[in-house]
């Protein structure tokens, strides 16, 4: 390929050289013709001036013009050529010659004299305008009018001519050839400079030069070796590139899988305070529904990171403390570790998050954003609270068990004496009055004994016997147990929803629902127009379903706001008759099953209790 390129360049140079040579020869010929024409015109001008001068000298003498006088004038003027005076009819009067450039008088017949004689008019005085010149038969002629109808003719041969055309042609050709050779020399050096560089580079290659090889063979062999080496290096580089690309692809896929499978929420925020991306877990926590697909009316986000463009104050609107932390991080570059924040969900529940917030810096150590990593620790905190409550209840039970036992013994003694006193009563009116007193005392003793028994059951650690329990059947059986109370108060009972089968202690759970239904029935005002108790069941949706939910709602008068946090405290009650132990037992049983209970809503239109039970075998004895 390189040799073909050099050959094309050489051909182009030769063509240019031939073209330049032809142009040079053409220019030379043109210059030669121009020089000859200019030289001839110059000779004619000189001859005209000479004729005009001699005519001025001869004009005063009209009859004295002889050959001797002409010869004298020619000699005085130093004219080289021939001079003749003619009559207007062309008859020669006198002639004279000098030098090697003389012309025969018979060739000097005037053209102007004949014309003047033909016209029979007197000639004009000699002047530059009426002095005529011509060139004939290799000689130059000049004619000037004289007085007396005469004409002066000067003639001389053109033997002093410019160099022949061949001289100019070959002279310029020689110059052109020399210049062309110099140009070709430098051109060859320029054309072969890459070749010389290749030869120098080849001498530094591993291939050694040999006296049996020409320089071109040595260069070709060297570059063949280099091409083979480059090809092997290219294959090696392609292999390394493919390996690096596979490694980058694996790393990218690993990062994608890591983000998809990470159980924590991940949010990135730029320096302008805009959330630029978030994964599905974070979007679900903060209930961001824009650009989400929907399934059964619920927003669904695909796993992985999603590009967003929303101000962090709007994205974290349900977590005021988190907004403050992000603002401080973006402003001052403060990194926060193992912080806990609360997120208020649209349904009124609170979700607890554990998070770490780190600023991101550019090469100039300027803050360009923040990275927020969060984990839902709601269940951990609830478990911690349940453990704490379980521990408090255990401590309370240990402390009160002994006191309750002694108190029960004293009640047993009082009950025995009251029965003995009752047996000693007669049928007299006075004794019958005392009988009423004794009966009231016995009722109070039985009431206190039942209270102590319930308290001991509450304080004593519960032993959970787990077995599959159908919640729907258990709720209906519990409703049947309190049916006399509900029907007597003319209350409508509604049971609906999904009640799964789960591992639980059927006896203890029955006690939970009996207490909740009894409390709901007792909370409804007998004079109310709306007497309804609703029991609804549901389970968590999705693959990670963990809890069953049972809600008991009544249309009673509700619980005051200041009493809401006290309803699960033992012995706290707002009823005229009651122990205040029922809801505390409900809470203890549900916590023992790995669940919990809470007042979900309460207002003058009624109260709703929310019970949550684990779908997996869990107990906290």
Q: How many CB atoms lie within 10 A of CB 585?
A: 21
First to last CA, the chain: 91
Under a CB-based contact definition with an 8 Å cutoff, are residues 468 and 502 in contact? yes
Fold of 260-382: Beta-Lactamase (3.30.450)
Average pLDDT over residues 543-550: 82
CATH architecture of 467-614: 2-Layer Sandwich (3.30)
* pLDDT for 552: 94
**Angle (nearest 5°) at CA 473 between 471 and 478:** 90
* pLDDT for 548: 92
Q: How far apart are CA 124 and CA 143, in angstroms?
A: 12
Q: Which residue has the higher pLDDT, 390 or 322?
A: 322
pLDDT tens sequence across 170-216: 666 677 777 777 777 777 777 767 767 766 766 666 666 565 566 66
Q: How many CB atoms lie within 10 A of CB 464?
A: 18
* pLDDT for 535: 94
* pLDDT for 36: 77
pLDDT tens sequence across 308-366: 888 888 888 888 888 888 888 888 888 888 888 888 877 667 788 888 888 888 888 88
Question: Cα–Cα distances in Å, from 237 out to 223, 524, 577?
Answer: 20, 84, 90
* pLDDT for 122: 54
Q: Is the confidence at residue 275, as pLDDT, over 80?
A: yes
Beta-carbon contacts of 132 under 8 Å, excluding residues fewer than 6 positions away, are: 111, 112, 142, 143
In the chain, domain spans: 1-100+135-194, 221-259, 260-382, 383-459, 467-614
Q: Is the confidence at residue 115, as pLDDT, over 50?
A: no
* pLDDT for 3: 47
* pLDDT for 475: 93
Q: How far apart are CA 612 and CA 616, in angstroms?
A: 12
**Angle (nearest 5°) at CA 175 between 173 and 181:** 95
Q: How far apart are CA 161 and CA 174, in angstroms?
A: 23
Nearest to 10 by CA among 183, 170, 144: 183
Q: How does residue 114 score in pLDDT terms, banded at 50, 70 and 90? A: very low
* pLDDT for 469: 93
Q: How far apart are CA 158 and CA 149, in angstroms?
A: 29
SS3 353: strand
Q: Which residue has the higher pLDDT, 568 or 485?
A: 485
Q: Is the confidence at residue 551, as pLDDT, over 80?
A: yes
Which ranges constitute the DSSP H helices of 368-377? none
Q: Which residue has the higher pLDDT, 423 or 146?
A: 146
Under a CB-based contact definition with an 8 Å cutoff, are residues 275 and 266 in contact? no
Q: How does residue 618 score in pLDDT terms, banded at 50, 70 and 90? A: low
Average pLDDT over residues 15-38: 76
| Assigned CATH for 383-459 | 1.10.287
Q: Is the confidence at residue 392, as pLDDT, over 50?
A: yes
Q: What's the chain's average pLDDT?
A: 77
Average pLDDT over residues 483-501: 91
Instruction: Report the range out of 130-144, 176-190, 252-266, 501-515 with the highest average pLDDT.
Output: 501-515
Average pLDDT over residues 245-273: 79
Percent of the chain predicted with pLDDT > 90: 11
Q: How many CB atoms lie within 10 A of CB 576?
A: 5
Q: How does residue 160 score in pLDDT terms, banded at 50, 70 and 90? A: very low
Q: How does residue 473 score in pLDDT terms, banded at 50, 70 and 90? A: very high
Q: How far apart are CA 570 and CA 583, in angstroms?
A: 8
Q: How far apart are CA 542 and CA 546, in angstroms?
A: 10
Q: How far apart are CA 3 and CA 9, in angstroms?
A: 10
pTM of this structure = 0.43
Under a CB-based contact definition with an 8 Å cutoff, are residues 273 and 330 in contact? yes
Helix then strand then coil, % of the chain, to nearest 5 = 50, 20, 25
193-203 helix and 165-191 helix, angle to the nearest 10 degrees: 30
Q: Is the confidence at residue 612, as pLDDT, over 70?
A: yes
pLDDT tens sequence across 86-96: 887 778 888 88
Percent of the chain predicted with pLDDT > 70: 72
Q: Which of 9-23, 73-87, 274-288, 446-460 has the lowest mean pLDDT?
A: 446-460
Under a CB-based contact definition with an 8 Å cutoff, are residues 358 and 371 in contact? yes
Token pair in block for residue 487 = 């029907």
* pLDDT for 117: 43
* pLDDT for 497: 92
Chain centroid offset of residue 144 CA: 100
pLDDT tens sequence across 431-442: 656 666 777 777
């Amino acid at each position: 390929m390189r040799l073909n390129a050099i050959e094309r360049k050489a051909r182009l140079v030769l063509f240019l050289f031939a073209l330049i040579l032809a142009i040079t020869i053409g220019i030379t010929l043109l210059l030669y013709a121009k020089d000859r024409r200019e030289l001839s015109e110059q000779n004619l001008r000189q001859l005209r001036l000479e004729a005009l001068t001699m005519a001025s000298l001869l004009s005063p003498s009209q009859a004295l013009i002889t050959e001797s006088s002409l010869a004298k004038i020619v000699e005085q003027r130093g004219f080289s050529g021939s001079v003749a005076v003619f009559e207007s009819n062309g008859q020669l009067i006198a002639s004279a010659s000098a030098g090697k450039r003389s012309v025969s008088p018979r060739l000097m017949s005037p053209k102007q004299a004949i014309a003047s004689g033909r016209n029979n008019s007197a000639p004009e005085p000699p002047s530059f305008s009426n002095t005529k010149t011509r060139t004939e038969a290799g000689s130059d002629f000049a004619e000037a009018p004289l007085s007396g109808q005469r004409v002066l003719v000067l003639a001389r041969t053109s033997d002093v001519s410019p160099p022949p055309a061949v001289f100019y042609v070959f002279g310029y050709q020689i110059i052109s050839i020399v210049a062309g050779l110099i140009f070709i020399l430098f051109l060859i050096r320029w054309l072969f400079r890459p070749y010389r560089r290749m030869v120098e580079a080849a001498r530094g290659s591993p291939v050694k030069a040999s006296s049996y090889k020409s320089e071109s063979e040595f260069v070709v062999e060297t570059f063949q070796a280099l091409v083979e080496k480059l090809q092997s290096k290219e294959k090696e580089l392609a292999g390394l590139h493919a390996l690096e690309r596979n490694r980058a692809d694996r790393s990218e896929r690993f990062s994608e899988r890591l983000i998809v499978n990470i159980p924590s929420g991940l949010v990135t925020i730029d320096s302008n305070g805009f959330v630029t991306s978030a994964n599905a877990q974070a979007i679900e926590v903060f209930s961001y529904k824009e650009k989400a697909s929907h399934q059964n009316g619920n927003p669904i986000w695909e796993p992985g990171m999603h590009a967003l463009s929303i101000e962090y104050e709007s994205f974290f609107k349900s977590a005021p403390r988190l907004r403050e932390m992000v603002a401080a991080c973006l402003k001052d570059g403060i990194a926060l570790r193992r912080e806990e924040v609360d997120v208020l969900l649209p349904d009124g529940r609170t979700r607890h998050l554990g998070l770490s917030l780190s600023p991101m810096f550019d090469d100039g150590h300027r803050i360009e954003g923040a990275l927020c990593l969060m984990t839902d620790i709601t269940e951990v905190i609830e478990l911690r609270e349940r453990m704490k409550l379980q521990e408090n209840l255990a401590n309370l039970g240990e402390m009160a068990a002994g006191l309750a036992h002694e108190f029960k013994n004293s009640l047993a003694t009082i009950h025995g004496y009251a029965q003995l006193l009752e047996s000693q009563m007669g049928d007299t009116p006075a004794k019958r009055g005392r009988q009423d007193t004794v009966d009231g005392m016995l009722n109070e003793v039985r009431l206190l004994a039942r209270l102590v028994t319930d308290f001991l059951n509450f304080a004593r650690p519960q032993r959970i016997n787990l077995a599959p329990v159908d919640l729907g059947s258990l709720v209906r059986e519990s409703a049947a147990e309190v049916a006399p109370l509900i029907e007597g108060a003319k209350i409508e009972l509604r049971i609906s929803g999904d009640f799964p089968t789960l591992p639980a202690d059927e006896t203890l759970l029955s006690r939970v629902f009996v207490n909740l239904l009894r409390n709901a029935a007792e909370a409804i005002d007998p004079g109310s127009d709306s007497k309804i108790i609703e029991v609804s069941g549901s389970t968590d949706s999705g693959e990670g379903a963990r809890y069953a939910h049972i809600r008991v709602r009544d249309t009673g008068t509700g619980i005051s706001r200041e009493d809401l946090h006290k309803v699960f405290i033992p012995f706290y009650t707002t009823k005229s008759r009651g122990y205040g132990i029922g809801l505390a037992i409900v809470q203890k049983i549900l916590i023992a099953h790995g669940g919990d209970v809470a007042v979900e809503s309460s207002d003058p239109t009624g109260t709703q209790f929310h019970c949550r039970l684990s779908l997996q075998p869990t107990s906290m004895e």
